[in-house]
Amino acid sequence: MPTHDRRAPSTLDPQGEFPFDLTTYIFHLFAVLSRHREAMLEEAFRSLGLNVPRHRALGVVVRLEPCSMSELADFSAVDRTTMTRTVDQLVAAGFVERQTPSRDRRQVLLTATAEGHAVHRRALQTVYRVNRRALDGLDEMTQRVVARAQQSMLRNLIDDPKLLRGLLDLARADADDD
């Protein structure tokens, strides 16, 4: 007897196309896809002195610079303690610099060094290659449908309008900036 026949009815895909209910399967596929993509990126980033978390952090710093630690943690979806270790590694590698504004000594602003910008550009070539491989066979219209669906899911989960706008637009929301 197939395994899925023993599952509770609420976990079955009523159409029988997927191994379990669609809402669970979608997120299962997100996790599996992310894991395999990240494994490919980890391997390719090694020669650049990066890993996936450092690449993500460097990418946010490059995009928002100067970038505060709070912005970096928000845009990277990583807690501040973990992000501090990642930034320490980027600083030690010479990819990022920390600055403390004289007007607020409690704040730390991050900027990418020239070397950080160069490594980021090289890493992006790897990301583009892996992304193209993952999207092979999906036309632009299908890719747009997937992107819009993911945007809708974020809107359903994130209550902070400024953070949501920043995550969806990947641009600093200027209305509430200090």
pLDDT, tens digit, for every residue of 124-163?
999 999 999 999 999 999 999 999 999 999 889 888 888 7
- pLDDT mean over 61-81: 86
Of the pLDDT bands very low, low, confident and very high (cuts 50, 70, 90), residue 20 is: confident
Beta bridge partners of 95: none
C-alpha distances in angstroms, 127 versus 57, 60, 144, 167, 168?
A: 14, 15, 19, 19, 19
Give the residue from 105, 71, 69, 64 showing the smallest Cα distance to 84.
69
Non-local (6+) Cβ contacts of 168 within 8 A are 151, 154, 155
Q: What is the pLDDT of residues 43-58, one digit of tens each?
A: 999 999 999 999 999 9
Q: What is the pLDDT of residues 97-125, one digit of tens each?
A: 999 877 877 788 999 999 999 999 999 99
In the chain, where the domains are located:
15-136
Q: Which fold has domain 15-136?
A: Arc Repressor Mutant, subunit A (1.10.10)
